[in-house]
C-alpha cells in the first residue's frame, strides 16, 4: 500500500470511528431526556437498579433493597456500580458514567473485530482495508450499536467472546508447551467471559472441544499431553466462575439466574426457530435490518435462510481449503459456539423479542463471512481491479449504516417505551407507596418501591408463577397498592383468581400511550 493510500484509509477509518463514538456519547451532550431514554432498555434498567443498590449499600437487590436477586450478569453489574459509587447513587448523573463504560467496551469491541478480521481476511497484510471495513460495519450497524449501548452486558460479552477466540488462536499457533502464565491468562479470560454472560459456557465448551480434537485426532498427541495443554486453563476458568455459581445455587436454588428461569418458564420447544433465520441474516447484512412486520413472513424467512446458508457455506469452504490450520480451528470453535447458542435460544428458550440481542456475539463472524464472499467475488468477477469493487461495496454498506443511524435521531424513531408509566407514577403515587409491574426495569429504577411480577429479578414472584401459574394471589396478599404497566395488564382487572377483581380496581387504561393502572380498593397505611 502506498503512503497516500495508507493516509487516505487511516483518515476515513478515523472519521467514521469518531462518528460512531460521538453518536454513542451524544446523550451526554444533550442531557435529559436523551440521557435516560435513547439507548437504555427496560432490561437495562433492571441491571442498573441492582448496580445502584449495590453502590448505596443495599446489596444485589431490587425493591428498595427488600428483595435479594441474582437476575443479572455479574461482571457488567459490578462495573456499573462505579458511577453510582462516584455520585453517591444519583440516578441521573450516574448515567453519564454508564454511557462512558458502554462506549469504552464498544471501542474495545471495534479493535477486537478488526484484529479477528485481519487474522481471517488478511493474514498476509495485503488487503488492510477489509479488516477495517469489518470493524466499521460492526461498530456502525444500527442494531449492534443499540445492543452495545442498551444498559446490559451485550457489548462487554461480545468483546470478551472475541478476546477469548483471539487468544485461542495465539495458543494454537504456539508449538512450545504452554507455561503457567499462558494457562493462567487463558483461564482468567475464559472465567471473565463467563461472568460477562453465562452463555460463554457454550464458547468455552466449543473451544476446549476443538482443542481436544486437534490434539487427539489431528496432531495425534498422547492423552497426557493434551490434558496438560487444556486442563489447567479450564480449571482456572471454573474457579473464576465458581463463586457466582455457588451464590446462585446456595441462595436461590439454581446455578441459572432467576432471569433466565423466568424467561424460559413459558417457552415452547422450537418457538423461536421462525425468527432465527432473519436475526442471523441481519448480522450477515448489518446494513439491512429487517422491519418487524416482515420478520415472520415466509418469503423473507426463505430469502434470509438462503442468503445466510449460502454465505456461510462459501465462507467455510474457503476457510477450510485456504486458511492456516490455527485459523481453521479457531473458526470451527466460533462456528460451534454459534450453533450451540442458536440451538439453545432457537429451541429451548423464550423471549423471541430478545433473539437479536442473544445472537449479537455471532455478528463479527457473520460480517467477516460476508466480506470473505465479497472479496472472492471481486477477485473473480473483476480480475483487473482486484479488491477495489469489494472495498467500494463494503464502503457503501458502511454509508448505509450511517444513514440508518441518522434516521434513529429523528423525533419518535427511538423511544424508550416505558417512560409514560414512570411519568404517571411520579405524578400520582407517593414515593412511600409500593407499585408493581410485570415490566419493572424502567419503573423500578425511577421509583424505588417497585415490585417485579414476571420473576426476572424477583424470586418470590417467580415461585408464585411456578406454583400457581400466575401472580394474582401473590399481589393480593402483598404490600402492593398500585399496578402500573402497559395496556395489556389492564385485563387483570376482570380476573377472579385469588380475589384479585375484588381487591384491585382499574383506574387508567389507554392504548396510546400504552398504560394500565390498577389500585387497591383499600390502600395500605403509608410506610
Backbone torsion region of residue 351, taken as left when φ is above 0, otherwise alpha when ψ lies between -120 and 50, otherwise beta = left
- Residues 162-186 have a mean pLDDT of 93
State yes or no: pLDDT of 3 exceeds 80: no
What is the C-alpha to C-alpha distance for residues 396 and 311, in angstroms, rounded to an integer? 19
pLDDT, mean of residues 172-185: 89
pLDDT at 268: 81
Long-range CB contacts for residues 57-63, cutoff 8 Å, separation at least 24: 62/440, 62/444, 62/450, 62/452, 62/457, 62/458, 63/444, 63/448, 63/449, 63/450, 63/451, 63/452, 63/458
Cell of 118: 485481519
Q: Give the cell for residue 337.
A: 459456539
Distance between CA atoms of 303 and 277, rounded to whole angstroms?
A: 9
Q: State mean pLDDT over 63-75.
A: 96
For residue 350, name the pLDDT band (cuts at 50, 70, 90).
confident
Residue 372, all three cell numbers: 470473505
Please tell me the predicted confidence (pLDDT) of residue 2. 62
pLDDT band at 383 (very low <50, low <70, confident <90, very high): confident
Torsion sign, CA atoms 96, 102, 105, 107 = negative
Asked if 459 and 252 touch (Cβ cutoff 8 Å), the reply is yes
Average pLDDT, the chain: 94
pLDDT digits over 228-278, tens only? 999 999 999 999 999 999 999 999 999 999 998 888 877 788 888 989 999
φ/ψ of 323, rounded to 5, equals: -85, 165
Q: How far apart are CA 319 and CA 329, in angstroms?
A: 10
- With 0.85 as the threshold, say if the pTM is over it: yes
57: CB partners within 8 A, 6+ apart? none
- Alpha-carbon separation of residue 295 from 289, 291, 413 (angstroms): 10, 7, 19
Residue range 80-130, pLDDT digits in tens: 999 999 999 999 999 999 999 999 999 999 999 999 999 999 998 888 999
Residue 370, CA distances (Å) to 234, 315, 390 in order: 32, 8, 10
CB 443 within 8 A of CB 437: yes
- pLDDT, position 474: 96
Phi, psi of 388 (to 5 degrees): -55, -45
User: So what's the pLDDT on residue 206?
Assistant: 98
Q: For residue 527, what pLDDT band results from cuts at 50, 70 and 90? A: low
Per-residue model confidence as pLDDT tens digits over 418-475:
999 999 999 999 999 999 999 999 999 999 999 999 999 999 999 999 999 899 999 9
Amino acid at each position: 500500500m502506498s503512503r497516500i493510500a495508507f493516509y487516505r484509509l487511516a483518515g476515513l477509518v478515523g472519521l467514521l470511528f469518531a462518528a460512531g463514538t460521538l453518536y454513542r456519547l451524544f446523550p451526554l451532550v444533550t442531557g435529559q431526556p436523551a440521557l435516560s431514554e435513547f439507548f437504555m432498555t427496560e432490561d437495562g434498567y433492571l441491571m442498573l437498579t441492582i448496580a445502584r443498590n449495590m453502590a448505596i449499600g443495599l446489596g444485589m437487590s431490587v425493591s428498595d433493597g427488600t428483595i435479594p436477586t441474582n437476575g443479572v450478569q455479574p461482571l457488567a453489574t459490578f462495573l456499573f456500580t462505579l458511577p453510582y459509587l462516584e455520585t453517591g447513587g444519583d440516578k441521573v448523573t450516574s448515567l453519564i458514567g454508564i454511557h462512558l463504560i458502554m462506549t469504552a467496551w464498544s471501542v474495545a469491541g471495534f479493535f477486537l473485530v478488526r484484529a479477528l478480521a485481519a487474522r481471517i481476511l488478511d493474514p498476509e497484510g495485503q488487503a488492510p482495508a477489509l479488516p477495517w471495513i469489518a470493524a466499521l460495519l460492526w461498530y456502525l450497524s444500527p442494531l449492534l450499536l443499540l445492543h452495545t449501548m442498551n444498559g446490559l452486558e451485550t457489548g462487554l460479552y461480545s468483546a470478551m467472546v472475541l478476546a477469548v477466540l483471539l487468544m485461542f488462536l495465539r495458543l494454537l499457533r504456539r508449538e512450545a508447551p504452554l507455561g503457567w502464565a499462558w494457562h493462567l491468562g487463558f483461564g482468567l479470560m475464559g472465567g471473565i467471559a463467563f461472568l460477562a454472560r453465562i452463555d460463554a459456557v457454550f464458547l468455552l465448551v466449543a473451544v476446549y472441544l476443538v482443542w481436544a480434537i486437534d490434539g487427539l485426532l489431528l496432531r495425534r498427541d498422547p492423552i497426557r499431553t493434551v490434558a496438560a495443554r487444556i486442563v489447567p486453563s479450564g480449571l482456572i476458568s471454573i474457579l473464576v466462575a465458581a463463586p457466582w455459581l455457588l451464590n446462585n445455587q446456595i441462595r436461590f436454588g439454581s446455578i441459572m439466574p432467576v432471569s433466565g428461569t423466568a424467561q424460559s418458564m413459558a417457552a415452547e420447544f422450537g418457538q423461536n426457530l421462525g425468527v432465527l433465520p432473519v436475526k442471523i441474516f441481519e448480522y450477515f447484512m448489518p446494513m439491512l435490518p429487517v422491519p418487524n412486520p416482515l420478520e415472520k413472513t415466509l418469503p423473507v424467512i426463505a430469502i434470509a435462510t438462503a442468503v445466510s446458508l449460502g454465505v456461510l457455506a462459501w465462507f467455510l469452504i474457503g476457510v477450510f481449503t485456504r486458511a492456516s490450520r490455527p485459523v481453521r480451528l479457531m473458526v470451527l470453535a466460533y462456528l460451534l459456539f454459534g450453533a450451540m447458542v442458536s440451538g439453545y435460544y432457537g429451541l429451548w428458550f423464550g423471549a423471541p423479542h430478545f433473539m437479536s440481542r442473544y445472537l449479537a456475539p455471532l455478528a463479527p463472524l457473520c460480517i467477516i463471512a460476508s466480506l470473505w464472499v465479497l472479496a472472492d467475488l471481486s477477485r473473480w468477477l473483476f480480475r483487473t481491479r482486484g479488491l477495489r469493487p469489494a472495498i467500494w461495496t463494503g464502503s457503501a454498506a458502511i454509508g448505509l449504516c450511517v444513514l440508518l443511524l441518522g434516521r434513529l435521531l429523528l423525533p419518535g424513531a427511538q423511544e424508550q417505551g416505558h417512560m409514560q408509566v414512570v411519568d404517571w407514577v411520579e405524578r400520582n403515587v407517593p414515593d412511600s407507596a409500593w407499585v408493581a409491574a410485570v415490566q419493572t426495569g424502567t419503573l423500578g429504577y425511577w421509583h424505588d418501591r417497585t415490585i417485579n411480577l414476571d420473576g426476572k429479578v424477583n424470586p418470590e414472584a417467580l415461585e408464585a408463577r411456578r406454583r400457581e401459574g400466575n401472580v394474582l394471589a401473590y399481589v393480593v396478599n402483598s404490600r402492593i397498592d398500585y399496578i402500573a404497566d402497559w395496556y395489556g395488564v389492564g385485563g387483570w382487572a376482570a380476573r377472579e383468581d385469588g380475589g384479585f377483581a375484588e381487591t384491585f380496581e382499574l383506574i387508567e387504561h389507554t392504548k396510546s400511550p400504552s398504560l394500565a393502572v390498577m389500585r387497591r380498593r383499600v390502600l395500605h397505611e403509608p410506610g
